[in-house]
C-alpha cells in the first residue's frame, strides 16, 4: 500500500479511523462523517476492543473450567502467574476494603495489554485485508477503507477507560467519606474558610488531572509507537528487519503501559477509600 499512495496520504490513511455516523441522508461512513458533529462512531476501535475483551473473558473462563488441584499445565500456570501478580500488586497498594478493585485491576491489565499487543502486527496486514474485503465484497475502493487495529491509539477509547476509573473514584469518595470528601476539596491545602475558593481551584485541578493524564499517557505512548511503525513501513522491501527491531523494543513498552494504567487505577481508588 505504501507504494500506491504518496507518503502523506499513506500516513493519513493509517492514522484515520473507520468512522460511522448518521446524517440527514441516513448512515454515512468515513469522510462523509467529517462534519457530522459529536455522534461519530469509530467502528474499528469498537470492534477490536470488544473482540479483545471477549478474548480475555474466553481465555480466563477456559482456564477456570480446566483448573484442577493436581499438577497444573503450562496454560494454567501462566494464568495463575498473571492473577497472582495482579493480586499481589493490589494487596501492596490498595489499603481499603472492596471486592471490586482486584477484578477491575486484572481486567484493566489484561485488556489493555491485549489491545497494545495489536501494535506488533505488521502495519499493512489487517488494513490490506480489510481493503480487499471492502473491494471484493462491497465494491469499495481499498484506499477508502480505513482500519486502525490498535484501539489504544484512539483517544476516544483511552478517555473512555479513564473516565470509567474517574467515575469509580468519585463514587467511592462519596461512599466512604460522605461530606468529608467535599471538606477534603475545600479545606486543603489551606485549612481556613477564607481560602475555600483557592482550595477548590487547586484541588479540582488536581482531581480532573488524574483521568486526563491517565488517558493521555496511554494514548501518547501507543500513538507514537504506531507512527514509528508507519514510518518504517514506508521504507519498502527493507522494512521487516527494522520492524522486528522496533517491535522487540516495543515489547517492553506494551506491558509497561498496561501495568502503569492498572497501577494508577489502584492508587486512585486507594486514595478514594482513605478517610483521613
The residues assigned a catalytic role are 213, 217, 221
Cell numbers 477456559: residue: 62
Helices (H), the chain: 7-14, 43-66, 74-93, 101-117, 125-138, 155-177, 179-186, 196-233, 239-273
CA distance linking residue 251 with residue 244, whole number of Å: 10
Q: Are 38 and 24 spatial neighbours (Cβ–Cβ below 8 Å)? A: no
* Cell reading at 276: 483521613
DSSP secondary structure, 106-152, as one string:
HHHHHHHHHHHHGGGS-TTHHHHHHHHHHHHHH---GGG------GG
Q: Give dist(CA 243, CA 269) in Å, integer.
A: 38
C-alpha cell at 230: 508507519
Three cell numbers at 44? 474499528
**Contact of 32 with 21, CB cutoff 8 Å:** yes
Relative orientation angle of helices 239-273 and 196-233, to the nearest 10 degrees: 160
Q: Could you tell me if 40 and 20 are in contact, meaning their C-beta atoms sit under 8 angstroms apart?
A: yes
Amino acid at each position: 500500500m505504501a507504494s500506491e499512495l504518496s507518503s502523506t496520504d499513506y500516513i493519513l490513511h493509517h492514522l484515520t479511523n473507520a468512522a460511522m455516523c448518521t446524517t440527514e441522508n441516513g448512515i454515512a461512513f468515513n469522510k462523509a462523517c467529517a462534519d457530522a458533529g459529536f455522534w461519530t462512531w469509530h467502528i474499528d476501535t469498537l470492534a477490536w476492543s470488544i473482540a479483545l475483551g471477549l478474548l480475555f473473558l474466553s481465555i480466563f473462563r477456559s482456564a477456570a473450567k480446566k483448573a484442577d488441584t493436581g499438577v497444573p499445565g503450562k496454560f494454567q500456570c501462566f494464568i495463575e502467574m498473571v492473577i497472582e501478580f495482579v493480586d499481589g500488586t493490589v494487596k501492596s497498594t490498595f489499603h481499603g476494603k472492596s471486592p471490586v478493585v482486584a477484578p477491575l485491576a486484572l481486567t484493566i491489565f489484561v485488556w489493555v495489554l491485549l489491545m497494545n499487543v495489536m501494535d506488533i502486527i505488521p502495519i499493512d496486514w489487517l488494513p490490506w485485508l480489510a481493503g480487499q474485503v471492502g473491494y471484493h465484497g462491497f465494491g469499495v475502493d481499498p484506499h477508502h477503507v480505513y482500519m486502525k487495529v490498535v484501539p489504544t491509539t484512539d483517544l476516544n477509547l483511552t478517555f473512555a477507560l479513564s473516565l470509567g476509573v474517574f467515575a469509580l473514584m468519585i463514587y467511592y469518595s462519596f461512599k466512604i467519606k460522605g461530606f468529608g470528601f467535599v471538606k477534603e476539596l475545600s479545606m486543603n491545602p489551606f485549612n481556613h474558610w477564607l481560602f475555600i475558593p483557592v482550595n477548590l481551584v487547586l484541588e479540582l485541578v488536581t482531581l480532573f488531572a488524574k483521568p486526563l493524564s491517565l488517558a493521555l499517557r496511554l494514548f501518547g505512548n501507543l500513538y507514537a509507537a504506531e507512527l514509528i511503525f508507519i514510518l518504517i513501513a514506508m521504507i519498502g522491501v527493507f522494512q521487516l528487519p527494522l520492524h522486528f527491531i522496533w517491535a522487540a523494543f516495543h515489547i517492553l513498552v506494551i506491558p509497561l503501559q498496561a501495568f502503569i494504567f492498572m497501577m494508577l487505577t489502584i492508587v486512585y481508588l486507594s486514595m478514594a477509600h482513605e478517610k483521613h
